[in-house]
Copies of this chain bind each other. A is one copy, B any other.
Amino acid sequence: MIYQKEITVHTNGRGYHLITQRILDHLDEMPEKGLLHLFVKHTSAGLTLNENADPSVRVDFESFMNELVPENHPVYTHTLEGPDDMPAHLKASLIGNELSVPITDHKLNLGTWQGVYLCEFRNFSSARKIVITVYS
């Protein structure tokens, strides 16, 4: 059994956004057991699982990833779309843009502190398409 839905997630722009509840809001009921697959249809945004409690973790993700993958690096040749573009592509592949989460007893089987982050790597993007697939 496969259930599939494409949604649009809105954010206030660049940063790491906790969207677990917004994903769940699109799932009326989940199977007894299975897997949830999330896929962001963009090359300058990512999806990952990380700490869902203290917002300072998401602030530090933004700061550290900007140090790790700096804007205006001298090796970049793909620069026409702005200084945040090539770093966004690199971050998307380092963080990843899709993930699968187990479903157990009709619920996402996340650890206590795990939440889904939508990672927005561009300065001015505020809406991203995500394909949800549930298989059971």
Contact = CB atoms under 8 A, between A and B. Distances in A.
Nearest to A67: B75
B95 A94 contact: yes
Given A86-B57, A100-B39, A109-B39, A95 B93 contact: yes
Interface in A51-76: 51, 54, 56-57, 59-61, 63-65, 67-69, 73, 75-76
B61 A93 contact: yes
User: How many identical chains are in the complex?
Assistant: 3
A33 B134 CA distance: 11
Contacts of A129: 111
Interface string A34-59: 11010111110000111100101101
Contacts of A7: none
A135 B102 CA distance: 11
B111 A90 contact: no
B104 A77 contact: no
